[in-house]
Amino acid sequence: MSIFIDEKDLPVALTTEQAVEAAYATELAQVTSKLQRGLPCLVECDKDLAPFLFVNVRNRLKALNLRCLYLDGRPRPDEQASAMPMGLIGTMIAQLRDAVRGAVERRVVVLPHLDLLTTSQGGLTAEAREVIPLLYENPELVWLGFKDPSFALPKVIENLFLHRVSLLGVPRPKLRGVLTQKESRKFGRQFNPWQLYKHISGVNAARLRKLLATLEGEDYPADPKHAYRQLRQATLVGQLEVPAIDLDRDIGGYARVKQRLRAEILDVLTTKDRTTDPEEVARLEELIPRGMIFWGPPGTGKTMFAKAMASTIGAAITVVSGPELKSKWVGESEENLRRIFYQARQAAPSIIVFDELDSFATARGMYTGSGVEHSMVNQLLTEMDGFHKEELVFVVGTTNFVESLDPALLRPGRFEFHLHIPYPDDDDRR
């Protein structure tokens, strides 16, 4: 069995709606089934994907004779204009109140902008406090909510939804359903969907259609690097960048450190990229650690090694200062972590470097100050536990002493690869 896909096995033409159906058919069928049985559903997805998901679910429910009411805060044609403009949120609340108190039959009510009902720290806005009782008031209503991945919902809203699904990126086995024959020609005569997935694992189906449809370059190139370079530039977000640091040319000495980094990380990734057997690729993916600790005394180039690693594998990198990540505002530090991981997953392959990880992830019982460190560690663990093994997103923490870190971070599947970077010895200094 080979990972390559023949061009003739791909669709000739493809709409965004068809791509969304191909990528998320299983999850959308589950959501429809839950809604039909009266269970509220929460879908976590990018903003530009939500409208396509809604249309898909609406059509499925229509076939089951279930009505949908879409509350997005825009006045409907049958609504009378208010003498006093209420704004988007005010209109949304008014629509919600009318829906709750006017419904006499079971219907699905869609809330596409749940994040507008919360503050940036996951608390409740003043307007949202009016809404909460309404959400629980009418048992005939079945809620379908859409949540942006970069926002946290308050528990009182999150608990309303008994079924939750997260749609980030496109599942690797579904890639053949989201690109056309013409688009596959930009990647050579043999199309390798697993190699494509490496560059777009965090891109949703709707956005991916736009990227693939606008690829430039000749068909059937001997080397598809031009197409992948376009995708790389399009997926860089926020403060992420691809560094240009050569492991040998820009870092002198440290032969033992480089040898271990190559043997246990870089060479495994290179072998995986060259392998065409799906079972062998899956085996190699199990060997690659997603969390790494680079430890040693100050000034030994721990962050520089992380940048050299990113440069070698073509990964975007963001360096985050641990002390600067902490905030005195409740929930803001956790939100910062959530946003960093979300951007890194969108820009995969990527590396997140937490410089001075021990500034907020010390062993339990050693926390000082407001206690925000405990919440930050929990959020960090939640984000890392959410990785898929096929995603190329790495987390590197730098510290002077591994022993100072919370033991929960060092368990298998988290920060399991530890690389000691000492002061250079006499040979390194030559």
CATH class of 40-161: alpha beta
pLDDT, tens digit, 9 for 90 and up, residues 344-358 = 999 999 999 999 998
pLDDT of residue 137: 86
Report how far residue 266's alpha carbon sits from residue 260's, in angstroms, rounded to the nearest whole number. 9
pLDDT, tens digit, 9 for 90 and up, residues 8-62 = 999 999 999 999 999 999 999 999 999 999 999 999 999 999 999 999 999 999 9
pLDDT over 90 (residue 231): yes
- Which range has the worst mean pLDDT, 25-39, 58-72, 92-106, 260-274? 92-106
> Mean of the per-residue pLDDT values for the chain?
89
Q: Which residue has the higher pLDDT, 352 or 430?
A: 352
Q: How confident is the model at residue 70 (pLDDT cuts 50, 70, 90)?
A: very high
Closest CA to 118 of 138, 147, 95: 147
pLDDT over 60 (residue 246): yes
pLDDT of residue 91: 85
Q: What mean pLDDT comes out for the span 237-262?
A: 90
pLDDT of residue 193: 92
pLDDT over 70 (residue 286): yes
Are residues 304 and 320 in contact, defined by beta-carbon separation less than 8 angstroms? no
Q: What amino acid is encoded at 319 in this protein?
A: V
Q: How confident is the model at residue 126 (pLDDT cuts 50, 70, 90)?
A: confident
Question: In this structure, which topology does domain 255-429 adopt according to CATH?
Answer: Rossmann fold (3.40.50)
CA distances from 385 to 180, 299, 319, 409, 423 (A): 33, 31, 20, 11, 33
Q: How far is CA 145 from the centre of its chain?
A: 19
pLDDT over 80 (residue 401): yes
Closest CA to 113 of 138, 146, 135: 146
pLDDT over 90 (residue 237): no
pLDDT of residue 371: 66
pLDDT of residue 33: 97
Percent of the chain with pLDDT over 90: 60
* Domain locations in the chain as residue ranges: 40-161, 172-234, 255-429
Q: What mean pLDDT comes out for the span 299-309?
A: 95
Is residue 82 packed enough to be buried (19+ CB in 10 Å), middle (13-18) or exposed (0-12)? exposed
CA angle 288, 294, 298 (to 5 degrees): 170
Q: How confident is the model at residue 152 (pLDDT cuts 50, 70, 90)?
A: confident
Q: How confident is the model at residue 153 (pLDDT cuts 50, 70, 90)?
A: confident
pLDDT of residue 18: 97
pLDDT over 90 (residue 367): no
pLDDT of residue 72: 86
Q: What mean pLDDT comes out for the span 183-205?
A: 93
Q: Which residue has the higher pLDDT, 388 or 288?
A: 288
Same fold, 40-161 and 255-429: yes
Q: Which residues pair with 318 in a beta bridge?
A: 352
pLDDT over 70 (residue 131): yes
Q: How confident is the model at residue 94 (pLDDT cuts 50, 70, 90)?
A: confident
The token pair that represents 394 in the structure block: 């790495």
Q: What mean pLDDT comes out for the span 392-415?
A: 91
pLDDT of residue 355: 95
Q: Which residue has the higher pLDDT, 89 or 269?
A: 269
Highest mean pLDDT among 158-162, 323-327, 332-336: 158-162
Q: Which residue has the higher pLDDT, 173 or 103?
A: 173
pLDDT over 50 (residue 83): no
pLDDT of residue 9: 93
SS (H, E, C) the chain: CCCCECHHHCCCCCCHHHHHHHHHHHHHHHHHHHHHCCCCEEEECCCCCHHHHHHHHHHHHHHCCCCEEECCCCCCCCCCCCCCCCHHHHHHHHHHHHHHHHCCCCEEEEECCHHHHECCCCCECHHHHHHHHHHCCCCCEEEEEEECCCCCCCHHHHCCCCEEEECCCCCHHHHHHCCCHHHHHHHCCCECHHHHHHHHCCCCHHHHHHHHHCCCCCCCCCCCHHHHHHHHHHHCCCCCECCCCCCCCCCCCCHHHHHHHHHHHHHHHHHHHHCCCHHHHHHHHHHCCCEEEEECCCCCCHHHHHHHHHHHHCCEEEEEEHHHHCCCCCCHHHHHHHHHHHHHHHCCCEEEEEECHHHCCECCCCCCCCCHHHHHHHHHHHHHHCCCCCCCEEEEEEECCHHHECHHHHCCCCEEEEEECCCCCHHHHC
